[in-house]
Amino acid sequence: MGRGRLILIEGLDRTGKTTQTSILTDRLKPNAQLIKFPDRSTTIGKLINQYLTDKNFNLPNQSVHLLFSANRWEVAENIKETLLNGTNVILDRYVYSGIAYSAAKDVDGMDLQWCLNPDKGLLKPDLTLFLTNESNDDAERDGFGEERYENVQFQKKVKKQFYAAFTEFETPNSNTLKLVDVTNKSIEEVSEEIWKLVQPILSNKEENQEFSFF
């Protein structure tokens, strides 16, 4: 039995990550586990939730960045064990969200490499799907919510940083990163596109047993 595959769905705000990770996990059940970041249920996750939802709760940008990373390390071992048991793990956001949102703040010293550092050693996905929305009302499917970061200007910067991080940290031509343009596509159309991209990764399970790391 080969190890499970680690499949990440990343993307800009409101592009359907949570919708699509849940459809994909259901499609692969019982052979898949869904993990969403931030995981707001842990002690660290509760602090992150407070930071995102309460604009009067302030923390240094560096501290917030490290909390998001620590939140991933909390479940890192669980992810590895699940994969070794042969179960696929589907991620809703992960390291690239961590880098892109923090780097977009333009804080001195918090460049891409600084942002990656605390995540170094985490498992690298076998496949990263990046959902983009190219329409003019960029990412404003239902309008943004009330959380920190949810405004058009900041989201434009985040998009730029996602692409910069992919250029910096994905191996060119390795086929581990695919862009999925969701503009004007229905939930079903997007999920079919994702399914076509995921299937080849699942069928070569006997090869590629080695893990990659950030």
Cβ atoms 130, 166 nearer than 8 A: yes
Other beta carbons less than 10 A from residue 167's beta carbon: 10
Figure out which of the listed residues 4, 8, 16, 132 binds ligand Z5A, where binding follows CB under 6 A.
16
Q: Which does 96 bind (CB under 5 to 8 A by kind): Mg ion, ligand Z5A, none?
A: none
* C-alpha distances in Å from residue 198, one per residue of 130, 146, 179: 13, 33, 13
Task: Give me the phi and psi of 130, to 5 degrees please.
Answer: -110, 115
Is 25 one of the binding residues for ligand Z5A (CB under 6 A)? no
Tell me the one-letter amino acid at 169. F
Tokens coding 186 = 């229905």
Which residue in 4, 13, 18, 57 binds Mg ion (CB under 5 A)?
18
Binding status of residue 128 toward ligand Z5A by CB under 6 A: no
Can you tell me the distance from the alpha carbon of 151 to that of 172, in angstroms, rounded to the nearest whole number? 31
Q: CA distances (Å), 131 to each of 1, 54, 121, 159, in order?
A: 31, 27, 25, 11
Quote the CA–CA distance of 50 and 68 in Å, as a whole number: 12
Which is nearest to 119 in space by CA: 82, 59, 68, 44? 68
What minimum distance in Å lies between the beta carbon of 174 and ligand Z5A?
23
Q: Which does 38 bind (CB under 5 to 8 A by kind): ligand Z5A, Mg ion, none?
A: ligand Z5A
Q: Does 98 bind ligand Z5A (CB under 6 A)?
A: yes
Minimal distance in Å, beta carbon 200 to ligand Z5A? 23
Give the range of 76-84, 110-118, 182-190, 194-202 binding ligand Z5A by CB under 6 A: 182-190
Helical (H) or strand (E) element with 131: strand 127-132
* 18 touching ligand Z5A, by CB under 6 A: yes
Count of chain residues binding ligand Z5A (CB under 6 A): 25
190 binds ligand Z5A (CB under 6 A): yes
Shortest separation between residue 56's beta carbon and ligand Z5A, angstroms: 18
Q: How far is the CB of 170 from ligand Z5A (least distance, A)?
A: 17
Distance of CA 112 to the CA centre of its chain: 16
Residues in contact with Mg ion by CB under 5 A are 17-18
Residues in contact with ligand Z5A by CB under 6 A are 11, 13-19, 37-38, 52, 68, 93, 97-98, 101, 141-142, 149-150, 182, 185-187, 190
